[in-house]
Structure 1
């Protein structure tokens, strides 16, 4: 039996790890109780308010983190000051690029964020020692690559309406990855301001607002308090994205 899948109440597992989403669905699910105990000696939890920077581009990397709550915005900056959002990370994603000395992206808290952080050296030693952990990180990296390829298609070929629907579907599917697309409904807070959504999609703020209104009038979504989105039927939203089943 894989020891990393022991009952969460096993006394060998540190108490702080037992109910942690990263422990069950993230990279820590690949660790044995002994490895979790070792890692727990070095971990610290940090909270960041929306808008605060977690990591700067070019900054030396000393720690990696699991996202416990919230959404992290990844951006790149051009020499003339222009900035482009290149990705979003959600709980329980692993945040960091193993075996790279410096960060090549800016990481900001898109919402209020809480992370579990641990020294880079400790995690990289564990990666070398644990094939299961290495496999889990490889799997996340491949998932992010697949998502980046899908997003290239969205930005390069989809209409404005399809781009906005795709963004909303992206958020919905990450807020609750296990929801049944064919039957589910979901409610979530938009993690980005309209200006950031426009930046992410390569659209103007006005176009984003018009397309959200269009989706609302069509009954695909409901919008409350400007930031709360209700999706009554995820399959309809999926269809609005032109995503193949």
Structure 2
């Protein structure tokens, strides 16, 4: 008999909705590859800012995109993007990147160059013996893996999300990022039709994980 098929878990939601923490814990519980696509957009943003290529200068931006050569390095259970063979550091979580990432992410061509790379993480999961992957972002269940085995959308009250960022010692323009991500023409942030919508405002991280895990577990038995 061949190996069982990979399962794909898609988790979408806005900033500080609990996507990353939930995804990491589900990856650990079910032996899944964790893929944080938000970090991909952050890495691209940092690289283009480093090259002085603004998101609003379309000609320069389109000229720069083909030179962004992507590869993947495994770090624990997480897939880490390399650009030109180099990983990003803590700078991708800086205030500067926070302020610009939604603008770059709104460019259709930026999203297009990442499409195959993101879908290709299934091969990374296979090569490293994972049972599947859990991918978090803003268009995973709608665009990247619309036929995922599980599609979840996490959301929380904006004030609660600001508190979560502050507890992490970070600042984030959550309301503005929500506005930009939800209003962009290409792959806007929204709960995909048929996805399971979960309000995490008054739930602990453990409660969110247990809720999702209870739905996923029967698929793996």
When normalised by structure 1's length, the TM-score is: 0.26
Structure of higher RCO (CA pairs closer than 8 Å, 6+ residues apart) = 2
Question: Which structure has the larger Rg over C-alpha atoms?
Answer: 1
When normalised by structure 2's length, the TM-score is: 0.28
Q: Which has a greater percent of helix?
A: 2
